Structures are given as structure tokens and as C-alpha cells.
Structure 1
């Protein structure tokens, strides 16, 4: 089962995970990561913009890479764009596999790529002012683990 979505509205991760798990009978394990807008001091909104001709096709290519690299039964990847408030989910990645390591590693692989090599630009509003969020060095290091 493969479910890759780019959405512009609030979603409820729990409502996605149950059907995803049910769609993968015989699985040995499911690993899920949900990223939310951090409630850092002063953050009013987070906004993600993207380049539409590349974003969803790129997410599908990432899913292809995850299926090729790990023994997966299913992959769920939902990413939100637009304006989000602290505490709202941004991304949900869930992998189903016969063995836990494939599920865990597939989620980690997808998140490292979504965080560092994806087609999203982030900015946050604090005290009424917008500020672009630059990639962190740690994100690049995390992504480099999967090279080669």
C-alpha cells in the first residue's frame, strides 16, 4: 500500500494510521513519525511554500527510493503546505514492514530527505514579523548518512 499526499489543510495523524495499518495485513511492524509546528517562544505561524511541479512528483520519487532500499509492505507520506499554527501537524510518515528495522529505517530515510532535500521553503512569524528558516547543519549531516 502506497499513500503519498501533499495537502493544504489540517489533518489528524491518528485517522491516517489506523487505515494504513489495516491496509497492510500480515505486517510485522509499523513505524510512524509525526512532525508538528513547534511552540517556540513567540512563534505565531509557520508557513511552508513549495514548487508545485516538483513537490508531489519528488515525494513519489522519494517513496520509490524507500521501497527500493527497504523491504516495505506499505508507505504513507502526508505533507502539509500553507500556514500552520503551533501544535498542528506538518508531516506524517509511516512505514509497514515484516521486520521493525526496515520500517524504522524507511521512516528515518524519508524524513531526512523531506527535511533537507525537498522542495519546501519555510518561514515563521514572530511578533508579527516573518523570518525565513534556514536549513540546519544537522539536517545536512542526517541526510549524508544515506549517501553512497
Structure 2
């Protein structure tokens, strides 16, 4: 019983992710900037939790169902992460081209279906996944809410 209680305390203590407020995306290092659009598709699975998005283990925004962000960022190679407290993060490497728009879709992990039967699975599997996608149209985003950036 003591062992189980200890594991529960460790799990709760290690599951907190901080949102960093003043992250500088354009570093003025003579690198041309790119535009990045990140959006989260509405969905039932993991719909009650925010997806935290960041880079280099610094999460700078939260996305709920039907939300998006658009901001300028240094061009070049980036490794972005999406996370939720208590589960492993998912990483995506993206090459951002100067002066162009890159789009990333965040969605709940379809492999989380087993978490309904075995809740521990949710803590061992990333709750969210990301992919670089063709940018959605303005029409597609009209029902989304801008929560970060421009």
C-alpha cells in the first residue's frame, strides 16, 4: 500500500507542465522569419484537456478544441512538442522556409482508445499528436478561435 501511494505522489509531482509567457520566436539573429499556424481539430477524445505546445521543453501556449495560433518564428529546423500533464510529449521536426507559411495540425491520439479500458495507458502514450499539413483555408478556420499570436 505504501509503495502504491509513493508511486501516486511521484506521478502527480512529475506531471506538471509550465507555460512560459515571454518566449521570443523571432530572435533577430539575421535569420529571415517564417509564419507558423498551429491549429487543434475539434474532437471528443481528450476534448476536456488542453494541448500544450512548445519547443525545447518550453511550452508557450495551450490549445483547446477548435482553437488556433499564428505567429512569426525564425526560419530553419525546429522540433516542436505537444504535451498534456501526466503523459509523454509528442515531437515533430519541421523545416520552416523563410517567408512562407507552415501549418501544423494537433489532434488527439487515435491510439488512446484503449485508455477507456485501461486508464494507465493514457499516462504511457502521448495524448496528442501533430503533423505538418497543407494549410487550411480561411473558410475552414472561420469557426476556430485565435488564442495566440497575430
Fold-level similarity (TM above 0.5): no
Q: Which has the higher contact order (CA 8 A, sep 6+)?
A: 1
Larger Rg: 1 or 2?
Answer: 2
Q: Report which of the two has the higher share of helix.
A: 1
TM-score by length of 2: 0.29
TM-score by length of 1: 0.29
Q: Report which of the two has the higher share of strand.
A: 2
